[in-house]
Chains A and B, each alone.
Chain A
Amino acid sequence: MTKKLKYLLIDDEEVFNFIHSQIIRLTDEFAEINEVRSSSEALEVIQNNASSKENFPDILFIDINMPEMNGFELLTQLQQLAPTFPKPIEIYIVTSSLFESDRLKAKTYPIVTGFIEKPVSNQQVRDIITKKASA
C-alpha cells in the first residue's frame, strides 16, 4: 500500500469541505484530511508545516470565491512560498464558477495542477490519487 495522502481542503462553505472529505474517504480510506474555512488558515497550516515533510499536505483543494482572501490571492501567496515547500504538492481549484476567465486565470499559476467543478466526484478523486502515485 502506498503511503497515506494528506489532503488540505480550503472552502469557506463548510458543507463542501464535508462533502469532499466524505467523498475522499469513500475512495481513499487512509486519507488524512484537514479542513479549513479561509485562506489565512490554509496559509497557517502550510507555513507551520513547511519544515516537516511528514505533516506537509500532498493535495490541496482550493475554492475560488472566499471572503477576505479569495482563492487566487491564496494561489499568489502559495506561488511565492513554493520554493520553501518540503515536497511537491498537487493543487486543485475546486469551484462552482462557470466562468471561462476563472479557468484561464487558474492556468496562469504554474503550481495549479487542475480545475475541478464542484462537487468533486469519486472518479475525480480516483484520478487525483492515480496522478499523485505516478508523479
Chain B
Amino acid sequence: MLRKLKRLLTLDFEVPSGGPGGKSESILVEKGNQLHELLIFTIAIYSAVFSVLNYLNDSGIEALISFSGVPCSIIAYTLYKIGYVKASKFWNLSYITGIISLLTLVSSPASGILAFFFPIIVGTLIAFQGKEIKYGYYLTAVLIIIITFLVTTDIRISPRLFTEEGLRQEWILNFVGAATATLLELTFIMLLSDKIQRKLMENSVVLFNKNEELSKANSELDNFVYRVSHDLRSPLLSVKGLLSLAHREENLPASVEEYLKMADHSIDRLDNTIKEILEYSRNSRLAIKLEPFNLRTLIENNYNDLRHLVDSRFSFQINFRCKEEIVSDSYRINTVLRNILGNAVKYRRTDINDPFIEVRVIETNRFYQIDVEDNGEGISEANQSKVFDMFYRGTKTGEGTGLGLYICREIMTKLGGKISLQSEPGKGTQVTIKIPIHHD
C-alpha cells in the first residue's frame, strides 16, 4: 500500500516488460514529462488566477503569497528543463508550490486549502494508471466535496457573514473565485488526463505488442544465427581438416606445402570473421549473465591459449591487488580479455630482447580495473581514437577483421564498464578495462 502510494506520488510509470525494453521506457518517460509540464503550467495559471481574485478582494499580502506560486512553478520548471532535476523528482517540486500556497491559510482557510490540495489532485489523476484510473476520479470527487465544504464554511467569517455587507461581499468573492478556479482546473485536468491517459494506454499496448513481436523475432534470429554459423563453419572446418591431412603427405613439393599453408591461413581468417560476427550478434542479443568467477584464472587461461605463439623471451606477469573472485558476465569478460591479450601478443615487437605483457588488477570505488600493458608496436596517435570503430584496421597487413576492439567496446558498454587505451608507437600500449563492481 505504502509502496503504491509512493509510486503514485513520484509518478513511477509502469512499463511493459519483456524483450528489449529500453525504447518503450524512454517513450513513456517522455509522455510523463509532457504531463509534468502541463501540471506545472496549470499550477502557475491557478496561482495567478487566485492572486488576481484575492487582489480584487483587497487583501494585498494574501495575493502576494498566493502569487508566489508562479515564480515557484517557473523555478521548478527551469530546474527541470536544464536537467538539474529529474522528471521523477519534478513532482516533489510541485509540492513546494502547494505548500507555499498553504501559507494563505493564515488569512483565508478556503483558498489556502484549495491551493494545497490542488497539486495533489492533479498528481493523483496523472499518477493513476490503467484500471486504477477510476479510483483517481473517486478521490478527486471526495476532495472536491471537502474543499467545497471548507470554502462554504469559512469559519473565521461565518458568524458575521450575513449581517455585515462588506464581509458578505468578501465571502461571495472568495467563494466564487475558489469555485470557478476549481471547476476550470478540474475540467482541464479531466480533459487532460482522459485524453493523454488514453493515449498513454494505447502506446503501452502498442509497445507491449511490439515487444512481443521483437522477442519472437529475436528467438527466430537466434535460431537463424545458430544454423548459419554451423552451416558456414562446417564445410570450412572440413576443408581445414583435409588441408592438414594433405600437409601430412610425404614428399610434398615445397611449393605445394607453401600453398597448403596459405590456404590454411585463409581458412583461419574466414573462420575468425564468422566467429567475430557471431560474437557481435551474441553480445547485442543476449542478456547479461552475472555469476561469480575467478578473474585471475580467466586471464591465465587466455594467455595459455596464446602461449604457443611466443618464444621463451616473452614474459607474462599478473599483479593482483584485489580479490580474484568477482561477479560479472564471465563469458563477455573472457571475450574482451581474449581480444586484448591476443592483440598484445599479435603486435609484440620481435626485434627486442624483452617483449612482455604485464596485467595489473586493482579495485577502485566502482570498478575492478584491469590494465594490460605491453611493449609492442604501439598505435599512432592519429589511430588511437579509431581503433574501437567498427571494421577499422590499424595495420596494413591483411590480418584481422577490424571487429575485435569494436566488440570489446560494445561489451564493456553493455556491462556498464569502460575500455580505453594509451599508446606510443614503438614503445607499447596500455589498455584499461573497467568492470563495474556493483550491479543495479
| Residues of A that sit less than 8 Å from B by CB | 13, 15-16, 19-20, 22-23, 26, 65, 96-100, 117-119, 121
Contacts and interface: CB of A to CB of B under 8 A. Distances in A.
B230 interface: yes
Given A26-B248, A100-B331, A65 B241 contact: no
B52 interface: no
13 contacts: A13-B238, A15-B238, A16-B237, A19-B241, A23-B241, A65-B234, A97-B226, A98-B229, A117-B237, A118-B241, A119-B241, A119-B244, A121-B244
Given A16-B237, A99-B226, 14 more contacts: A13-B238, A15-B241, A19-B241, A20-B241, A22-B245, A65-B230, A65-B234, A97-B226, A98-B233, A99-B229, A117-B237, A118-B237, A118-B241, A119-B238
A119 B234 contact: no
B242 interface: yes
Q: Main secondary structure on chain B at its contact with chain A? A: helix
Interface in B200-230: 226, 229-230
B168 interface: no
B240 interface: yes
Given A96-B237, A119-B237, A23 B245 contact: yes
A19 B230 contact: no
B275 interface: yes
Contacts of B241: 15-16, 19-20, 23, 118-119
A98 B237 contact: no
Interface of B: 226, 229-230, 233-234, 237-238, 240-242, 244-245, 248, 275, 278, 331
Give the top 3 A-B pairs by smallest Cβ distance, nearest first: A119-B241, A19-B241, A96-B233
Contacts of A97: 226, 229-230
B245 A13 contact: no
A117 B274 CA distance: 15
Nearest to A100: B331
Contact of B275 (A19, A20, A22, A98): A98
Contacts of B331: 100
A20 B310 CA distance: 29
B234 A13 contact: yes
A68 to B, nearest CB: 16
A15 B240 CA distance: 11
B73 to A, nearest CB: 55
Contacts of A22: 245
Contacts of A23: 241, 244-245
Contacts of B278: 98
B248 A119 contact: no
Nearest to A22: B245
A20, A97, A117: residue with the most chain B Cβ atoms closer than 10 Å: A97
